[in-house]
Structure 1
Amino acid sequence: MSDLSAEQEAIVKAPLESLSVIACAGSGKTRTAVHRLVEMRRLMGDHRGRVALLSFSNIAVDTFRESYRILVQSQPACINQNRIEIGTLDGFITSNILSPHAHRTMGATQPAFLVAGGETFLKGFTFRTNTHPLDISKMKVGFRDGNVYFYYTTYNNQAIELDTTYALNLVNRLGEIGAYTHNLGRYWCYRVLSEQPNLLRALALRYPQILIDESQDIGVLHQAILEQLISAGSQITLIGDPNQGIYEFADADGKFLMQYGLRADVRSYQLTRNYRSISSIVTLANNLSGRTDTAEMKSHLPLHGAFFISYKDSMKEQLITAFQETVIAANLNLKSSAVVCRNSDLVNTLTGENTPVGFGLVKGFVKAAILRDKHQDYLNAFKIVASCISKLLIDPPKNITVVITHPEFRSLRHEIWSFIRNPDLGLPSTSLIADTEWHPLLLERVKVLLSSLQLKFGLKIVDRLGNKLTVRELPNSPLVIEAEIEKNIILRVDTVHQVKGESLDSVLYLATSKNITDLLNGLDTENGRIGYVAVTRARYLFWLGVPEKSLNNLRSTLISKGFQEAVCA
C-alpha cells in the first residue's frame, strides 16, 4: 500500500463497518475506493457474501473496473475476487430487484420493463395538470416523512404535487402490464423491498458490504432503498464531496452524505489532500468552500493559476480564442482543456447547435458544417449528418448513427465520413454565401451522396428531394466568416455537469453575474456548488469569464477569494 497516503490507508485498513468518507476534490477517491474494495473482501474471508462498489455513471464504473483490474493483477489469484461487483446504483437495483422480482409487487404477468417515454401505448397513461395532460414519464416521485408522494415540474422548475390516490391509480395501472419509467423504477424498488421482506433479507445477506462513490448524488428514493438494506443488515460506506452536490433538481442535495457520519454505528473519515490541482487553485477552492485542504502540486509558472477576465456578450468567441492561445502558451494540453457553462443553451450556442439559420433538414446540415469548420468537432458533425441523411431515405436502418458503427456497415460509415471531411466535394465550406453558393452545392452533393448509397447499399431515396432541402431562412452571407474559421477553435465546450468527475489541464468557466455571485456567497446553493465543481476540475489553469457590466461590483470580492485579474491582449 506504499502508493496510499496516511489518510487513504486509514480508510482502506478500517475494520468491516459502515464508513462515511468526506473527500475533497482531487483527493484520490477512486484509488482509495478500489483498495478498500479489495481489503473488505479479504477481511470477509470465506464468507459467501459479495462486496459491491457502486457509482452513478458508466464512465465512473469503467474507471473503477480498470483500476480494480490493474490492482488485482499484482496480487495472488483468489476465488473471492469473483465475489466483487462494480456497477451503477441504478444498475444494481435493476438487476437485483426490478427485473427479477418487481412483477409480483406490480401484479404483472411478465417481467418488469423500462419505458423511456413517448411509446405509443403510453397515450393511455397521462395525468391531468393545470394546463394540459402529460405522459406518465413526466411524473416524478418524492419521499417525505417516510411516505411517497408524486409530482411534476413546470417549465420553470416549479414542483406541483399530485393527489396521491389519483397518481397511485395511474402508476398501478401501468405496473399491471409490467412497465415502469426511470422515475418510477426506484419507487417500485422501494415497494418491492417493503412488500417482499424475504427478498430484502436475502439481498442483505448477498451484499453485506456496499460502497457508494459520489454519494452526494444520492436522491431521496435511493436513500430510502439504502435505509431498507441497512435495516436488514447491509453495511454501507459512503464516499463523496457534499460541495459537489449539483443534482438538487433531482432531489440529490448531499444531506444524506453530510449526516451519515453522525450515526452511532458509522465511523467518519476525511480525505483532505488534493492531488489534482496546483496550490493557487486549491487555495481558491478552500476560500470558496471554507475547507482547509492542502495541495500536493506546486506551481509558480506565470500563466498557471486562477484568473478572472471580463467579456462582452457579443465577444464570447474572442474570449475563447484568447483562452485557447493562453493554454497553448502555457504548454498545456488543449485536448485536456474545456470551456464550461452553467446551462446547455449557452453550450449549444457556442458550438453552433443553436444556429438560427436554415429550415428543416438544412438547419441540421448548417449545424454540422459549423461544428466542422469552427470547432473541428467531426464526431458530432458526423452524427448530425447521419441523422439528416436517414431522413432522406425510405425505411433507413433504425438508429443509423449507432448501426453504422458496426463493422458490417464500415463502407457506409466511410461514405458519410468522406462527405463530412471534404468541403470541396462534400459538405460545403461555411465561408461560402449561404443562400446563393453554399445551398446549391449542398443540394448537388447530397444528391450525389444519396445516389452512391442507393447504388452501393440498396438504400431508397425519398421523392422531391429539393422540397426537403429548401433554401428557406438561409442568409445572403457566409455561415461563418473566414476569420472565425482561421481562429481554429478546437476546445471542447460542455456543461459543468458533463465534466463533473474529470481532471482537466485548463478550464474556462463562462459565467453569468448570478452564477458568480452565488459562487462567491458560499456553497449553500446548487448554483454555487456548480461553480465550485468548475473550479476544481482544473489542474493548472482556471479562467472565470465575468460579464463586463458586473466586473466593477465583483472585482474586489474576486481578488479577496484568491483570483488574479487577467486581461485579453
Structure 2
Amino acid sequence: MSGLTPEQQDVVDAPMVPLCVIACAGSGKTKTAVHRVVRMRHNLGEARGRVALLSFSNVAVDTFREAYDDLASSLPSGAGRSRVDIDTLDGFITTNVIRPHGHRTMKSPRAAFLVTGDEAFLEGFKFPTSSFPQSIKALNLAFLNGKEVFFYMFNDQVVIVDSSVARNLIAKLGRTGAYTHDLGRYWAYRTLKEQPKLLAALSRRYPHIVIDEAQDIGSVHQAILELLIGAGSCVTLIGDPNQGIYEFAGADGKFLIEYHQRAGVLQHSLKRNFRSAPSIVDLANCLCGRDDVAERSAPATPHGAFFTGYKGDQYPQLISSFQGAMSAAGADIKRSAVLCRAKKLAGTLRGDEAPAGQGLVRLFAAAAVLRDRRKDFLKAFQRVAVAVVALLDNAPHGLVSQITQPSNKPDDRELRKVIWAFTRDPATGLPSASLVADAQWHAHLLARIKVLLVNLDTKFGLKRVANLGNKLSKKALPSTPLTSAADLADGGATALRIDTVHKAKGESLDAVLYVTTKEHAQALLGGVATELGRIGYVAATRTRNLLWVAVPHNSLKELRPQLLERGFKEVGLSATPTPAAKSTHDVLLPLPLKATKPQASA
C-alpha cells in the first residue's frame, strides 16, 4: 500500500479487531478507510463473510466506490474482492432490514416503502401539538438513557411528543407499509430486536463493518449497531468528534469518543491535515484545542482566515466582494461556497422565494423554478411526482416511492421515465418558469397535465381524479413570470454555491464565506464544546486556502478583539499577527469590503 503516512499505514495494518480512529479534518479518512477495507478483504481470503464500508452521504459513497474499484485490482482473484458492500448507513439498513423484512414487524401485507412526507394520503397521519397538528414526517426518534423519546423540531427547539400517541400513529402508518427516513431507523431497530434469527444472520453476513464520519452516528443508529456488535459483528469507527453537528438526533460524537474504552477496541489517530493551508490549520487548532499538523506548504496566492462586517440589506455586495477575493486567491468558483448555519438564511442569500400558487399548482410552480433557475432537476422531479400522484384516483399508497426510487421492475422504470420526461421538457411537459404565471404558464400546465394523465391511463391503467380543474386552480398565481428573465439568464452561468454547513460537510473547498449571526460568530469563537460551535468549526475547516467569516455590522466592534485573538485578519486592513496566529504564511487581501450604501446617481 503506497502513498500512506505512517499513522495511516498503522490503521491499515491493524489487527482484524474493532478500531476507534479519531481523525482531524482533511486527514485523508476516506483514503485510509478504503485501504483498510482492501487489507481486510485480503486478510479474509476465501471467507464468505462480507465487509461493509458505510458513510452518511451519497457523495462520500460514490468516492468510496471509485477508490475501492481502483485499489481492489491489487487483491488476488480469489480473495473475494466483490464481497465488499459500500453504502450509506441508512442505505445499508434499508437494503438488508427494512425492505426485505420490515413489513412483518410493521404488520403490513406489503413490502415497506419510503414516503417523502408530501403524499396526499399522509394527511390522515398527524399528531396533535400545542399549536397545530403536525404531519408525521416531522416526527423524530432518539434513544435517551436507553428509552425511546419521540420529538419534533419547532423554531429550532426540541418538543417532546407523548410516546403513546407517537407509537400509535407510527403503528397506524406502518400497517400501510409506509415509513419516513427517520421512522425507517425505528422500524429497522424494532425488526432486528424482534427477529433474533435475522439479527444473527445479518451479523454472520457482515462480520466486519467500517463506518466513516462516525461522529454522525445518532442514538438510533447506535442502538442498531449495538445489536450487531452484540451479535458478533466487528465494527470500526472513523471520524472527528469536533465535526459532530447532528446533536438533535443524538449524534454528538460521544459514541465515537468513548468507543476505544470498550474491551478489545484499539485506538488510532490521524493528525496530519492534507487539505488546508497552514494558517487555516492553525486556526482550527486554536478553535478545537488540537495540535494537528499541516501537510501542505503555504500557497503563493493570497490565503488565510479573514473577517468582515455586513449589513442585512447588502448581501449582494458582500458576496461580490468575496468573489473578488476568490479571484485574487485563484479559487475555483465550482469548488467554493457561501455557507450558513440556517436554511432560511441560505435561502435569503440565494434569493429563493416561496413558490406561487396554492395546493398542487404550488408544487408544480416550485418544480418549474427548481428546474429553470436552480437547475435542480432531481428535486423538481420529486415534486412533480408527488403532485401527479395526487391527481390520480385511488392511487396506491406507495406510488410516489415507486416513481422516485430506483427499481428493477419494468413497469416502475417505465413510469419513472414518463414522469422524468414531463419534468425535464419545458416545451411539451412542465411549462417554463419564464411564462406569465396566471395566464400562459397555468394554461400550458393544465393542457399538458391532461395529456400526461391520458398517457398514464393508457399505459399503466392509472385513472385521473374527476375534479381536475378544482385541484389545479390558478388562484394565488401572479400576473408575472414565476422567475425573472435575469434569474434564468444567470442560471446558465456558473454561480457561486450558497448552502448550509450541513450540506457541505465532508467536502474540500477552495474558498468559503461563512455568513453568521452574532450568536453563530460567538459560538465559532467559543470552540467546539457546543453544537453551534462545531458547526462553525466545520465551516472553517472545509476550506483549502481562503476563509471569510462575515459577522453582522452592529456586532463587529464587540467581536473584533476576539476574532483577532483567534488569528483572523480583518478584510482590507493590515494586522500584526497575534499569538494565536502561529503561522506566518497569511497574506492579506487588498480588498476593502466596507459595505457602503450605493451612491445616488446625479
SS in 2 for 1:277: coil
Partner of 1:468: 474
Partner of 2:294: 295
Per-residue CA deviation, residues 68-115 of structure 1 (Å, 9 max, x unaligned), is 011123444334112111111112122222222233333444333334
AA of the residue aligned to 2:152: Y
Equivalent positions of 1:343-362 (< 5 A) are 343-354=342-353
Q: Give me the whole-angstrom Cα distance separating, in 2, the residues matched to 1:106 and 1:452.
A: 39
Equivalent positions of 1:61-100 (< 5 A) are 61-100=61-100
* TM-score computed with the length of structure 2 as normaliser: 0.78
Does the alignment pair 1:496 with 2:501?
Answer: yes
- Alpha-carbon contact 2:42-2:79 (below 8 Å) kept: no
- Alpha-carbon contact 2:514-2:548 (below 8 Å) kept: yes
Give the drift of 1:176. 4.0
Give the drift of 1:526. 1.2
Per-residue CA deviation, residues 253-289 of structure 1 (Å, 9 max, x unaligned), is 1111111112232101111011111101111111011
Does the alignment pair 1:534 with 2:539?
Answer: yes
Does the alignment pair 1:228 with 2:227?
Answer: yes
Per-residue CA deviation, residues 146-198 of structure 1 (Å, 9 max, x unaligned), is 33233334344232241x44443443344444443332322222222222222
Q: Give me the whole-angstrom Cα distance separating, in 1, the residues matched to 2:207 and 2:194.
A: 21
Q: Give me the whole-angstrom Cα distance separating, in 2, the residues matched to 1:176 and 1:130.
A: 27
Equivalent positions of 1:245-256 (< 5 A) are 245-256=244-255
Change (3 A) 1:419 1:364: closer
Partner of 1:285: 284
Change (3 A) 1:132 1:317: closer
* TM-score computed with the length of structure 1 as normaliser: 0.82
- Alpha-carbon contact 2:370-2:380 (below 8 Å) kept: no
Give the drift of 1:564. 1.1
Change (3 A) 1:66 1:131: same
SS in 1 for 2:81: helix
- Alpha-carbon contact 1:362-1:469 (below 8 Å) kept: no
SS in 2 for 1:101: helix
- Alpha-carbon contact 2:515-2:550 (below 8 Å) kept: yes
- Identity, in percent, stands at 46
AA of the residue aligned to 1:237: T
Q: Give me the whole-angstrom Cα distance separating, in 2, the residues matched to 1:449 and 1:128.
A: 36
SS in 1 for 2:321: helix
Partner of 2:570: 565
SS in 1 for 2:3: coil
SS in 2 for 1:297: coil
Give the drift of 1:221. 1.1
Q: Give me the whole-angstrom Cα distance separating, in 1, the residues matched to 2:14 and 2:211.
A: 16
Greater alpha carbon shift after TM alignment, 489-498 vs 143-152: 143-152
Equivalent positions of 1:5-154 (< 5 A) are 5-154=5-154
Give the drift of 1:56. 1.2
- Alpha-carbon contact 1:240-1:257 (below 8 Å) kept: yes
Per-residue CA deviation, residues 439-485 of structure 1 (Å, 9 max, x unaligned), is 59x9568878999999999999x989x9839885879xx97999x98
SS in 1 for 2:313: helix
Consecutive unaligned residues in structure 2, runs of 5 or more: 393-398, 406-413, 456-463, 573-591, 594-602
AA of the residue aligned to 1:552: K
Q: Give me the whole-angstrom Cα distance separating, in 2, the residues matched to 1:3 and 1:492.
A: 32
Which among 499, 509, 516 is matched to residue 521 of structure 2? 516
Does the alignment pair 1:198 with 2:203?
Answer: no
SS in 1 for 2:80: helix
Partner of 1:431: none
Per-residue CA deviation, residues 224-268 of structure 1 (Å, 9 max, x unaligned), is 111111111111100111111111122211111111112232101
Greater alpha carbon shift after TM alignment, 314-323 vs 95-104: 95-104
Change (3 A) 1:165 1:335: closer
Q: Give me the whole-angstrom Cα distance separating, in 2, the residues matched to 1:85 and 1:401.
A: 23
SS in 2 for 1:298: coil
Partner of 1:433: none
Q: Give me the whole-angstrom Cα distance separating, in 2, the residues matched to 1:368 and 1:169.
A: 38
AA of the residue aligned to 2:138: K
AA of the residue aligned to 1:283: D
Give the drift of 1:302. 5.5
SS in 2 for 1:15: coil
Partner of 2:409: none
Change (3 A) 1:406 1:67: same
Q: Give me the whole-angstrom Cα distance separating, in 2, the residues matched to 1:210 and 1:427.
A: 47
- Alpha-carbon contact 2:38-2:75 (below 8 Å) kept: no
SS in 1 for 2:82: helix
Change (3 A) 1:519 1:37: same
Q: Give me the whole-angstrom Cα distance separating, in 1, the residues matched to 2:507 and 2:313.
A: 30
Change (3 A) 1:25 1:404: farther
SS in 2 for 1:528: helix
Per-residue CA deviation, residues 185-222 of structure 1 (Å, 9 max, x unaligned), is 22222222222222222221111110011111111111
Give the drift of 1:297. 1.2
Equivalent positions of 1:234-273 (< 5 A) are 234-273=233-272
- Alpha-carbon contact 2:422-2:430 (below 8 Å) kept: no
SS in 2 for 1:78: coil
Greater alpha carbon shift after TM alignment, 405-414 vs 247-256: 405-414
- Alpha-carbon contact 2:527-2:537 (below 8 Å) kept: no
AA of the residue aligned to 2:344: D
Change (3 A) 1:180 1:408: closer
Give the drift of 1:491. 0.9
AA of the residue aligned to 1:322: S
